[in-house]
Amino acid sequence: MAKKTTEKQPAKMTDELRKKLLGYSMISGQVTLPFNIEIEGVPSEFLPSFSIKSLSVTELAELRSKEDAEDSYYQDMVRSHIMGWTNIIDLSTDEQVEYKGDKNGCDKELYENLPLIVKTEILSFIYSISK
């Protein structure tokens, strides 16, 4: 009787696994990752979702050295790392707010209309995926 060999298949990196490893592994270059806002009791089709670019090594070093940075520094940094979004709704009209931006991030005027809590959560996400 022949013995059955059970070779262990190498694990594959998945988006779910990559998300769990963010902040615990290195990112040598910039990557763009999804960031989903979670609000209890809100159906997923209404939850805002963003495409966020991680900090480069240089940007991370600069961020760490900015102990007394102005709020405008952080706002510009967050804005420049938002590469897209879905499900941003103007609650006064119930219409989708289309993303406007380019390789340098979100349109400045459009970014200024985002709620502060969203900007703060994005900043936290950027830092967590970049450290």
Query: Quick one: pLDDT at residue 3?
Result: 60
Domain assignment present for residue 41? The answer is yes
Q: Which residue has the higher pLDDT, 58 or 131?
A: 58
Domain assignment present for residue 2? The answer is no
Domain assignment present for residue 51? The answer is yes
Task: Output the pTM of the full model.
Answer: 0.79
> Where residue 106 falls among pLDDT bands split at 50, 70, 90?
very high
Give, in order, the Cα–Cα distances in Å from 75 to each of 68, 108, 112, 124.
14, 10, 9, 12
> Where residue 5 falls among pLDDT bands split at 50, 70, 90?
low
Lowest mean pLDDT among 65-69, 73-77, 108-112: 65-69
Number of structural domains found in the chain: 1
The full 3-state SS of 25-45, as one line of letters, equals CCCCCCCEEEEECCCCCCCHH
Domain assignment present for residue 108? The answer is yes
Domain coverage including residue 38: 30-130
Closest by alpha carbon to 83, among 123, 114, 113, 53? 53
Q: Which residues of 60-86 are buried (b: 16+ CB within 10 A; e: fewer)?
A: beebeeeeeeeeeebbebbbbbbbbbb
Which tokens in the block code for residue 126?
């950027």
Inform me whether the pLDDT recorded for 108 exceeds 60.
yes
Mean pLDDT of 48-58: 90
